[in-house]
Chains A and B, each alone.
Chain A
């Protein structure tokens, strides 16, 4: 079977806003979601910079048993999925009658693990970690909780692929629907935003130290970038066969045309050019498109010196003279890690729907070698119909997805 695959629902809970409308406005105006966590200054972090996101209160939505197993990122993912299901017009009855699946990207649940460990050491009693701890602590926490809450009966697992997790989740959902194994899959990515999950990453001296102006700290591709800003939240993308979507008259946000991937096969944290270039070539082949067909690329670029430069070189190698618009929304959000591959699809879909390209804020002067790239320095008012989203992660995992307006 070779189904056409479309997106019929999106939802978002991020540092740019807690729903699609807020996030659309933030993207358009180039608003930063970055701030300072004073606690990190006290406990020995090199950088206290972080994405800032409100703690959800789910008491009005979920009964106690459904809440106690949810870690921070599970709460974000519940809300983004609730919004996406509403956008998709999928109600409880449809979820009960059909085999709807779920695949989410998530690669840690550090806060829950550390809190449980602290309790056991302090109390010398494992029972005192409480009934929710185990369900909060596993990498599959988001899919195990949401599949229970929404009573899902299709495919059900989590993708752990570092900072490409959220992108691979959509890629895998796309393949399942394309092959006719699933009609609807709830895909997405979730990322906790707490110091427990970020300490060891901070220890690698990877984070920006630009604490005097947090909103200017994340500056992908800019000559003066000095590291990434950790961030998070959750994004949900509902994938469905075109046939199913049309049959029930669903709104179609876009059609997934291709999924490319590769592994660098080199250093665990230092990105190269060949791996991403291979992923880009593969996604274009899968989509049966040429570089000039892509109007916008949402870059993975996180604001690290080597990562941004190598991604830009890979894009230059493949896209050469076609010069699609390029921006990294991480300039506003910071690095949403496990969530990023999904949230950046949501951000790009919002741009495509509303006729603009969000700016790569804080990009004043790009590196000399990449100055010819067509960066979106400011918000660009333009209708476009095809975009590509890149996501890369530790271990050299790469994922690229192409989506076209339907």
Chain B
């Protein structure tokens, strides 16, 4: 899976799960604020990642992730190291 395909897939499930406008998702936008995430929502982020990419992460893994680009990089890194 190419990086572009991964990003496309991530954006798809974020729009679907967190019900945000696709246009609001840009690489430099703030992930938490844009998706209106509270502490419970990070649990659902874990569920979505497992469901879409087949690997398990922990909610605490998201500590350093601020922007969507950070999030893409994190997923891409995980996919490539599988």
A residues adjacent to B (C-beta < 8 A): 59, 63-65, 68, 123, 125, 127-128, 130-132
Q: How far is the CA of A130 from the CA of B43 in the complex (A)?
A: 6
Segment with Cβ contacts to A, from B4-12, B21-29, B44-52, B68-76: B44-52
**Which of these, B18, B19, B44, B56, contacts A130 with CB under 8 Å?**
B44
Other CB < 8 Å A-B pairs besides A123-B56, A127-B56, 18 of them?
A59-B19, A63-B19, A64-B17, A65-B38, A65-B40, A123-B50, A125-B50, A127-B43, A127-B46, A127-B59, A128-B46, A128-B47, A128-B50, A130-B43, A130-B44, A131-B40, A131-B41, A132-B44
Decide yes or no whether B82 CB sits under 8 A from chain A.
Answer: no
Q: Which of A128, A130, A131 is most buried by chain B, counting CB atoms within 10 A of its CB? A: A131
| Chain B residues within an 8 Å CB radius of A131 | 40-41, 43-44
Known contacts A127-B43, A131-B41, A131-B44; decide if A64 and B19 are in contact (CB<8 Å): yes
Whole-angstrom distance from the CB of B41 to the nearest CB of chain A? 7
Q: How far is the CA of A123 from the CA of B51 in the complex (A)?
A: 11
Chain B contact surface mostly: helix
We find that the number of chain B residues with CB closer than 8 angstroms to chain A is 14
| Chain A residues within an 8 Å CB radius of B43 | 127, 130-131
**Which of these, A59, A68, A125, contacts B44 with CB under 8 Å?**
A68
Known contacts A64-B18, A64-B19, A130-B47; decide if A125 and B40 are in contact (CB<8 Å): no
Q: How far is the CA of A130 from the CA of B59 in the complex (A)?
A: 11
| Chain A residues within an 8 Å CB radius of B56 | 123, 125, 127-128
Q: How far is the CA of A130 from the CA of B56 in the complex (A)?
A: 13
Query: Which A-B residue pairs are the 7 nearest by beta carbons?
Result: A131-B40, A131-B43, A130-B47, A127-B46, A131-B44, A64-B19, A128-B47
**Which B residue's beta carbon lies closest to that of A69?**
B40
Known contacts A65-B38, A65-B40, A65-B41; decide if A127 and B19 are in contact (CB<8 Å): no
Q: How far is the CA of A173 from the CA of B58 in the complex (A)?
A: 43
| Chain A residues within an 8 Å CB radius of B19 | 59, 63-64
| Chain A residues within an 8 Å CB radius of B44 | 68, 130-132
| Chain B residues within an 8 Å CB radius of A127 | 43, 46-47, 56, 58-59
| Chain A residues within an 8 Å CB radius of B46 | 127-128
Q: Which of B38, B43, B56, B59 is most buried by chain A, counting CB atoms within 10 A of its CB? A: B43
Whole-angstrom distance from the CB of B53 to the nearest CB of chain A? 13
Q: How far is the CA of A86 from the CA of B2 in the complex (A)?
A: 52
| Chain B residues within an 8 Å CB radius of A63 | 19
**Which B residue's beta carbon lies closest to that of A127?**
B46
**Which A residue's beta carbon lies closest to that of B43?**
A131
What are 7 A-B contacts defined by CB distance under 8 Å? A59-B19, A63-B19, A123-B50, A127-B43, A128-B46, A130-B47, A131-B44
Q: How far is the CA of A131 from the CA of B59 in the complex (A)?
A: 11
| Chain A residues within an 8 Å CB radius of B18 | 64
Q: How far is the CA of A64 from the CA of B47 in the complex (A)?
A: 15
Q: How far is the CA of A127 from the CA of B49 in the complex (A)?
A: 12
Q: How far is the CA of A37 from the CA of B18 in the complex (A)?
A: 32
Q: How far is the CA of A131 from the CA of B47 in the complex (A)?
A: 9
**Which A residue's beta carbon lies closest to that of B47?**
A130
Q: Which of B38, B41, B47 is most buried by chain A, counting CB atoms within 10 A of its CB? A: B47
**Which A residue's beta carbon lies closest to that of B48?**
A130
Whole-angstrom distance from the CB of B62 to the nearest CB of chain A? 12
Whole-angstrom distance from the CB of A269 to the nearest CB of chain B? 39
Q: How far is the CA of A130 from the CA of B40 in the complex (A)?
A: 9
**Which B residue's beta carbon lies closest to that of A59?**
B19
| Chain B residues within an 8 Å CB radius of A130 | 43-44, 47
| Chain A residues within an 8 Å CB radius of B38 | 65
**Which B residue's beta carbon lies closest to that of A67?**
B19
Q: How far is the CA of A68 from the CA of B18 in the complex (A)?
A: 11
Whole-angstrom distance from the CB of A367 to the nearest CB of chain B? 54
